[in-house]
Amino acid sequence: MSWEAGAWLMLGGSTALLFLGLPVAFSFLVINLLGAWLFLGGEAGLVQFARNSVGSVASFSLTPIPLFILMG
């Protein structure tokens, strides 16, 4: 699959999920999981997705973002 087709598929999928009433965070999570499954190679892609998400959550530089959102 070309990257253009993948981009249109992911954009259309996220738009469809948003129109179905799924919250934005869960819509992006579903689309990212599908993208990792398709483009990174099945189960190995999901393992890589899990490793990257743990690494990015553990990053101290991104910690203030949810705290500022909670402060409102």
> How many structural domains compose the chain?
1
Weakest-pLDDT range from 2-6, 19-23, 32-36, 59-63: 59-63
pTM of the model: 0.62
Residue of 31, 38, 39, 1 whose CA lies nearest to 13: 31
Domain limits for position 51: 3-71
The model's pLDDT over 39-58, given as tens digits with 9 standing for 90+, comes to: 877 777 778 777 777 777 77
Q: Which two tokens stand for residue 14?
A: 């996220």
Residue 72 above 70 pLDDT? no
The model's pLDDT over 9-35, given as tens digits with 9 standing for 90+, comes to: 889 999 999 999 998 888 988 888 888
Contacts of 39 (CB under 8 A, 6+ apart): 1, 6, 45
| pLDDT given at position 47 | 82
